[in-house]
Amino acid sequence: MSFPFRSRTPTSATTSRPISCAAALAAALCLAWPLAQTAQAADAQADAAASASAPANAQELQTPARSATPVRSPAQHDTAKESQPATPADLYGRLYHDVQLAQIFPDSKTFADMLPNQRPSQITAAYERWRQQHAGQHDNAARKAALTQFVNQYFTAPAQSEDHYVSDPNQDVVGHIDTLWNVLSRRPDAKPNPYSSLLPLPFAYVVPGGRFNEIYYWDSYFIMLGLEASGRHELALDELNNFAALIDRYGHIANGNRTYYLSRSQPPFFAQMVSLVAQKDGDAVYLHYLPQLRKEYDYWMAGAQTLKPGHAARHLVRLPDGTLLNRYWDARNRPRDESYREDILTARATPQRDASDLWRNLRAGAETGWDYSSRWLADGHTLSTIDVTSLAPVDLNSLMVILERTLAKAYGLKGDAREAELMTKRAQQRADAIDRVLWDPQLHAYSDYDFAHRTLTHRLTAATVYPLYAGVATKAQAQEVAAAVRAGLLRPGGLATTQVATGQQWDEPNGWAPLQYLAVMGLRRYGEQDLAQEIATRWIATNLAYYTRTHKLVEKYDVSASATKASSAGGGEYPLQDGFGWTNGVLRVLLQMYPQTGAAQGAPGASGAAAASAP
């Protein structure tokens, strides 16, 4: 069921007095779960969390995912959804809730990824006996110690392959990256634990590193760029085949290959992955992956045939004039398994907001890849005001143009003129909509559209480069975007993500590898060579300066200072991770694109021609 557009009246989350980040954290800690609560209070909290996954009939945001009709294959998405394996929170219920709220592990993801030593039904039965035995125990420390012992008895942590890797201080950064592909590679999952949250993959794959010991959808495109630049085409092809296998198995590419990621996707880069491999293997690649390209498209467009003007459902919104755009979305409305405690505390700190709506938006925020950013926050700075599902984002819709154009090319190669023409038409319609709806004259750049309040968000972010990357901007618009980026987002260490410092990791002062690459490629596409080179040069310098000091490449960097003071970035729900997949990939390809810059800054392995091109 869809919902009509809301008036401009703010939601309860935005009408309440804004809470500072520090106040929100203090409130959350004050409300944190005391392990020795009475059984009655514990039951109420566990029941509330469990009920979050149940749909509420009165709101579209709580509509079951299979209610909408897909563009093609009407049964495809229902079948995939019904066959999705249970998540750890589903399997272990109260045990999962209690372990996460007791903070047995500092990182919620740790328990989500642990392997059970027995069948889940046996473990949950044992836990019920454990609860009865410890019902009278009110010493928090003793109870937590006993619960920790229970977890250690019934669960085992998966091995971390790169834990023992030590970088060679005598190795230049290119050699370091080329070595790390082997360190971050994983073998095919031949004999997976049937109750693991890890979704098995049939081919070798590359993980980002650190706490991320599985593949991630949009990360992997930038990893593949680096693999190609390193001459690892076969491994890049394995990556592509794994994603095709996930589409065949589940009807879409999940956020990552974990059961708890299946309810959402991530920015759709599968079409670019196909094109990247086709650069080496030829146009036959488009025909080979045409079925998966189409299924990917059907996932994002599910419900288009029946969606009425002025309504939204799943990943789609149709504006009152009939314009069709995509949005980010998650099929579930409960705390994320991998950030369970954090989501519970965020909801407790905001009692005036419906928890299921908050959790839906936190999940949708994870699908954006920008988790989290002021870009998604209704008040611009407080996480509990997150409102992703009311936005038509410029990056997602630009990527959908690329997907539609790629499908048009694939159908053309197949000789299916009708489908090729249809996809070409849809791509043009979407490009026109991006120009008409997402161009912000106030910013002289692109921004997101808040369709619930019928207004642009008027926030300058690095997402403004996506229409240039996709080739849907006019020459004049590209020039204005370049000027806006130079004036508002260019920093000494590279391209800033936003102009707002909130403590969220996708905000000032942090810079991220994929956004540097997309900006460089988009600007080059429109002849803005000087700014593209400036961004690339500053980002390369930041990476190399940090590597020289630490012999590491990390997930993100603070770009507010010059390269000589380059530092790792902070913010977000977890500590900084090193490794790091997409940082390695983007740096490797930028060093090929700008070999003189790399060589001048001490990267002797930087040479060769550009290995990538704009879509």
Instruction: Give the torsion sign (CA, 42, 47, 53, 57).
Output: negative
Q: Which residues are CB-neighbours of 187 under 8 A, at least 6 positions away? A: 204
**Beta-bridge partner residues of 495:** 490
Q: Give the containing element (helix H, strand E) for 3.
A: strand 3-4
In whole angstroms, give the CA distance from residue 362 to residue 381. Answer: 14
Question: Token digits for 19?
Answer: 């809470």
In whole angstroms, give the CA distance from residue 40 to residue 46. Answer: 10
CA 314 to chain centroid, in Å, comes to 17
**Beta-bridge partner residues of 510:** 558
In whole angstroms, give the CA distance from residue 376 to residue 374. Answer: 5
In whole angstroms, give the CA distance from residue 302 to residue 72. Answer: 8
Annotated active-site residue 555? The verdict is: yes
In whole angstroms, give the CA distance from residue 75 to residue 53. Answer: 22
Cβ proximity of 310 and 89 under 8 Å: no
Annotated active-site residue 298? The verdict is: no
- On the question of a cis peptide bond just before residue 393, with omega within 30 degrees of 0, the verdict is no
Candidates 338, 343, 367, 555; catalytic one: 555
In whole angstroms, give the CA distance from residue 420 to residue 325. Answer: 20
Residue 487: Cβ within 10 Å count? 10
Q: Which amino acid makes up residue 594?
A: Y
Candidates 371, 395, 450, 508; catalytic one: 371
Question: Token digits for 121?
Answer: 């039904």
Cβ proximity of 362 and 386 under 8 Å: yes
E-strand stretches of 458-516: 490-491, 494-495, 510-511
Q: Which residues are CB-neighbours of 261 under 8 A, at least 6 positions away? A: 254, 255
Q: What is the DSSP string of 88-101?
A: HHHHHHHHHHHHHH
Describe the crossing of helices 233-250 and 217-229 by its angle, rounded to 10 degrees.
160
Exposure string of 144-181, with b = 16+ CB inside 10 Å and e = fewer, is bebbeebbeebbeeeeebbeeeebeeeebbbebbbebb
Question: Token digits for 99?
Answer: 């372990």
- Residues annotated as catalytic (active site), given as ranges: 371, 555
